[in-house]
Structure 1
Amino acid sequence: MHMNSRMFSVAGSPRFDVYGNDFGWGKPKKVDVVSIDKSGAFSLAESKKEKGGVEIGIVLEPPVMEAFASLFVKGI
């Protein structure tokens, strides 16, 4: 591994069918992986709204999140 490399970790998978699970109180309306707040990972889940789509979850400090959101909206 190079000195300037960075490792990332992923929580979840789009193949887990999280929106299809029903534990007796109905199917979920929204799914979040809360452990990514402390672990630094990002989460993946299948999209609830679009077949074949993916939801990506990320947790960043507020100023970094604002910069990320601004760039994301611009399509960079």
Structure 2
Amino acid sequence: VYQLGCHFDPNSITVSSSPRFNMYGNEFGMGKAIAVLSGYANKFDGNVSSYQGYEEGSIDLALTLMPDAMKALESDEEFMNAV
């Protein structure tokens, strides 16, 4: 598996998207998609992927954080009040 994250500074933030593809418009015979997921190679600390949302005009975000960073956010009262 190609690990994209090893090519970036660990203190950087990467934002990516794919506006070229209609993520929710594809139908492969199993019903319409209800979520968009990226592959394992796109999972590295600080990665944010944005996709066209399921509802028109909305945006889906996928955020990848290491467990210690996520635990710190969950312990932050101000952050938890905002989400």
Band of TM-score, shorter chain: 0.5 to 0.7
Q: Structure 1 stretches (4+) deviating beyond 4 angstroms?
A: none
Match of 2:81 in 1: 74
How much does 1:14 deviate?
5.2
Match of 1:65 in 2: 70
The reply to whether residue 17 of structure 1 matches residue 25 of structure 2 is no
From 31, 48, 55, the counterpart of 1:42: 48
**Percent identity (aligned):** 30
TM-score by length of 2: 0.57
Unaligned stretches of 5+ in structure 1?
1-5
Cα contact 1:14–1:44 (8 A) shared by 2: no
Q: CA RMSD in A?
A: 2.8
- Which amino acid in structure 2 is aligned with residue 59 of structure 1? T
Q: 1:36 to 1:74 in 2, by over 3 A?
A: farther
Aligned length: 69
Q: How far apart, in 1, do the equivalents of 2:82 and 2:19 lie?
A: 23
SS at match of 2:24: helix
How much does 1:40 deviate?
4.8
